[in-house]
Structure 1
């Protein structure tokens, strides 16, 4: 499913891809998401439309730092999960240790549904051979086919050759039933009646597993080696058996402009309601908009209404996607996903309804877009390349909402902001290779933020211009102040709060008969749009503004001359003028970073972080351990890894240490290469934005001087 040339060259997933297939007479819509922190928006928008998820863990590395980030994203959307411990065929794989990490690091109730079986191969090496299904108490054998396509199931009895495997399986089955009985009343009743854990039927155990998984109480855990196609089929079975169908999930709730909530029923005969969660630019078909249909049926050639942009859209084609291959279909029903061709203005997070829907303002909860923290300049090689570059940037920006593109009026440069160094490197490759744009990409810089130190600034602005032979006039008064620490606005306003008090409206005294030509909703929307656009460019270095409270408290209208354009321009100009009178602050991103290294490199890495990089060390841990005293202590069953290793097996892995630190992003540029140098290529790290912190005056002067010298 990794079809981009950049994905194949680097061996990583960069963009989420969708595929639809059948398994056991069920239709499964699968979305493969990246694991790298720079592409967290791909995970965010995919999880937003999922009913369930499979978390794939590395049997050697265990629960990694980025896994915890993605797990937290799934927690926010209450997505039921199962876990699959992959790469059990690699030296150093530890199923039991990984299960314990699921409980400790992810704070989840891990229910072991399989235990691995290790056997010696022809060379005498201990390898992953198969697994025991603890629900059915069967041995799963993939030896019948070299490609792993055939799974032979054999009943596990006391006569099984390896007694250790049988007794461990009995222990695991008893523990599974016992933990289920604590969470599920049906299993408790059956167990009390049978008085024997082993007599609880596999059918009842499966039903209970499904109930506790869908409710989010527990996470079933499986194992395998996907490279050899061992363990894949049982995971697909588990998706059907334990993860919810759309009918098992709570109906989504939309919001009207009035603030009223509306339940969206999952019925094919209801009015259509769908969420656009991804946009991809296809060179042959144009923009492909991926949607999840929540209600109704989406037909080919259907007329739609976008409630976010208030525009009409028409579907030219419906495509069922198989990664980068597509199959044209005539309709898609509630609960499924597909791609639409022909939508011109739909973006990620927009709500689509059918044209004659009774609620024109209905909106589904949108998708949270993370703030970009890296920036670089891009310039066309020649004047003739400027238009193709702008077109390519428009397409890339529509695909990836975590990218920001702004034009710096002072320097004339086009600046791209992204989530990380790799993120912007991929964008650069796509512009040059996929879109064939001739452009020069500048040096990587930090995307700072701006704010003000003043308590409150009052300003009144009169906008009076003639545009295309028509006069545009409007006047408004506003005040700007800094939000208290920890207070912020909604995501669409970039961490700022906008308040509109339009009760004090007036018209010029000399023309008392003039009345507003716009309804109140359009007036408020135009003013808000103007303020938001002004907040994207600060007066100091043109970085976005954050932590501001902007309140418009009076408005003067001039009849038909106070058009939507005039109101938006007046609001933008008023805020820009007010900010230029203020005392500006520059804020830099502070990052929470997690570094995992071998024990012997601990001293040199800690010294580098706390010294050269101006970081604060928050804590140190040994990999696989975690101090979570607030988590309820529970005996978590995990098969001892040594049981399935040969007697002469020696664990050659040395202890690894985990460093948690907080470091200014400016000092993290190029840290990947530096860490590899410090640890002989054995260290790894992930980071995410903690907050934007205020710079000292000396450092602010230095940064302003550097950046005004040119990006």
Structure 2
């Protein structure tokens, strides 16, 4: 409310119009006239339900003057504004909760309806999505922060009021839908949802087992004195210091250090963190933002956990590929080590940052989600971490694609000493929109590439007869594993797509590669030539 042009009433109307919701005002702004400039300056808020005027006397937010405005004769203007807002809130909530109307009819005075009755009704209305509480303040001047925190506690759902978080586990499945050759087909990773329920005592119960402890590392910071601090929210079980946990992102077993509860910036060492607690893990550098930690609450180790539980991931998120980049190089060779350490720290704290290397330009490239994102990262590197580095201009990362389907192309490479050759025949096409919305992902023997929404589809009948015979036999007897052959073709295709297109040499995006036919010598013992021939064909 301290920004130039801020309009409380206008913004509330926009909330109603744009979000299509009902609103209940919890507090409204209070302005005082500056005697020197005659400007109206935002100084506090009127607490509608408790009938108080809160005025902040300092920018640190600690010195708050509280005035009771329930006296109409003493504060006529404030009393009238508070009563009008209470009237609107009671009429809005009265349509939702009869208890509010019954309480009003006892006195027929809007100012005498108890605050607890209004708050309870607003909490129920908020949980059911009937109405939205609205508060105002200024984070810059620390005005209205305390009422906002109290409103979080009063109106927003507790962990047992909401649906349990999504928990998935990764497992290997066969890419082919044919049961006949399922043992010989390439394995792909699939995500399955685990059953989760909420118990008021144990928190989330994963896979119907109360002894599973799960925690989400939602923030990692490097403190100048305490070192790496991993902020975690415990969703189930009990996390204890010295426990061995599985980082399900990396599969690594980690022995954690002390556990802290933070009171602002003051730490308190604790003997455990229960379900629902938010705390800090110390003395470990193998955990990054977004990692899930799993262990057994009884043994303090991952022992006796099933394979699914050992691979469980809390609230998995997919980070879209970054689109803004800068070049970053140490100012002198002696600065390289400090720059590398600083970048490693930033990547651990923020998984949406990506680091790459441009071979053509011989430059290290730092990529982020936007211009502001990279500006903040640059400021941290140069100012906070005192790194001497040369950082280039921010540029947008563009991609390239084809505009029409290609004909079928074939390439072959003779193998030394072999009568037959390695060959690949393929064609390219492109699509628009998200890959998951296309039919390509549902085609048999389709492989989604990790980068740039490209997909490779091995068409029916593309497998060489010699390899197909080996697949159909009771036991597979071919010089190279079938998975290895497919992986070689995919690797060659992916590498060539990343090298770039003909127009601007930018990585190719949203391409569909259909492998029509491929051959491999019957006496082959390696698939390396398949990588080369696939790259040449693309």
Could you state the TM-score of these two structures normalised by the residue count of structure 1?
Answer: 0.55
Provide the rounded CA distance (Å) in 2 between the counterparts of 1:214 and 1:282: 37
Would you say 1:377 and 2:327 are equivalent positions?
A: yes
Provide the rounded CA distance (Å) in 1 between the counterparts of 2:290 and 2:194: 18
Deviations 1:212-265 (A, max 9, x none): 223333321223456665534333322221122222222112123362442153
**SS of structure 1 residue aligned to 2:198:** coil
Pick closer, same or farther for the CA change 1:155–1:211 going to 2, 3 Å: same
Pick closer, same or farther for the CA change 1:317–1:519 going to 2, 3 Å: farther
8 Å contact 2:493–2:535 — kept in the other structure?
Answer: no
Within 5 A, what are the aligned runs for 1:162-561? 162=76, 164-184=77-97, 187=100, 200-224=113-137, 230-257=143-170, 259-263=192-196, 265=198, 267=202, 270-282=211-223, 287-321=228-262, 326-354=267-295, 355-356=302-303, 357-358=305-306, 359-383=309-333, 385-453=335-403, 455=405, 481-489=428-436, 493-494=450-451, 496=453, 498=455, 534=495, 537-540=498-501, 543-549=506-512
8 Å contact 1:60–1:94 — kept in the other structure?
Answer: no
Provide the rounded CA distance (Å) in 1 between the counterparts of 2:21 and 2:131: 6
Question: What residue ranges of structure 1 are gaps of 5+ in the alignment?
Answer: 1-57, 62-91, 466-474, 583-711
8 Å contact 1:148–1:228 — kept in the other structure?
Answer: no
* Matched residues, number: 474
Pick closer, same or farther for the CA change 1:381–1:236 going to 2, 3 Å: closer
8 Å contact 1:461–1:570 — kept in the other structure?
Answer: no
Q: CA deviation at 1:209?
A: 0.9
Pick closer, same or farther for the CA change 1:308–1:528 going to 2, 3 Å: farther
8 Å contact 2:402–2:430 — kept in the other structure?
Answer: no
**SS of structure 2 residue aligned to 1:279:** strand
Q: CA deviation at 1:207?
A: 0.7
8 Å contact 2:428–2:513 — kept in the other structure?
Answer: yes
8 Å contact 2:123–2:156 — kept in the other structure?
Answer: yes
Q: CA deviation at 1:337?
A: 2.6
- Point out the more displaced range, 365-374 or 303-312: 365-374
Provide the rounded CA distance (Å) in 2 between the counterparts of 1:464 and 1:352: 48
Deviations 1:54-93 (A, max 9, x none): xxxx4535xxxxxxxxxxxxxxxxxxxxxxxxxxxxxx65
Pick closer, same or farther for the CA change 1:224–1:376 going to 2, 3 Å: closer
Provide the rounded CA distance (Å) in 1 between the counterparts of 2:65 and 2:454: 58
Pick closer, same or farther for the CA change 1:381–1:225 going to 2, 3 Å: closer
Pick closer, same or farther for the CA change 1:272–1:171 going to 2, 3 Å: same
Would you say 1:133 and 2:90 are equivalent positions?
A: no
Q: CA deviation at 1:103?
A: 2.5
Deviations 1:551-595 (A, max 9, x none): 78999999xx99xxx99x899x47xx656645xxxxxxxxxxxxx
- Point out the more displaced range, 371-380 or 496-505: 496-505
Q: CA deviation at 1:111?
A: 1.4
Provide the rounded CA distance (Å) in 1 between the counterparts of 2:325 and 2:8: 41
2:3 equivalent among 46, 49, 60:
60
1:161 equivalent among 75, 79, 82:
75
Could you state the TM-score of these two structures normalised by the residue count of structure 2?
Answer: 0.70
Q: CA deviation at 1:543?
A: 4.7
Q: CA deviation at 1:303?
A: 1.2
Provide the rounded CA distance (Å) in 1 between the counterparts of 2:292 and 2:479: 29
Provide the rounded CA distance (Å) in 2 between the counterparts of 1:411 and 1:104: 50
Deviations 1:322-356 (A, max 9, x none): 67765544322222333334555443333221123
Provide the rounded CA distance (Å) in 1 between the counterparts of 2:231 and 2:496: 30
Pick closer, same or farther for the CA change 1:486–1:230 going to 2, 3 Å: closer
What is the CA RMSD across the aligned residues, in angstroms? 4.9
Pick closer, same or farther for the CA change 1:377–1:229 going to 2, 3 Å: closer
**SS of structure 2 residue aligned to 1:251:** coil
Question: What residue ranges of structure 2 are gaps of 5+ in the alignment?
Answer: 172-191, 204-209, 296-301, 417-421, 438-447
Aligned residue in 2 for 1:703: none
8 Å contact 1:489–1:498 — kept in the other structure?
Answer: no
Pick closer, same or farther for the CA change 1:449–1:238 going to 2, 3 Å: same
Provide the rounded CA distance (Å) in 1 between the counterparts of 2:493 and 2:216: 24
Looking at both structures, which has the greater relative contact order when contacts are Cα pairs under 8 Å and sequence separation is at least 6?
A: 1
Pick closer, same or farther for the CA change 1:371–1:257 going to 2, 3 Å: closer
Q: CA deviation at 1:122?
A: 6.3
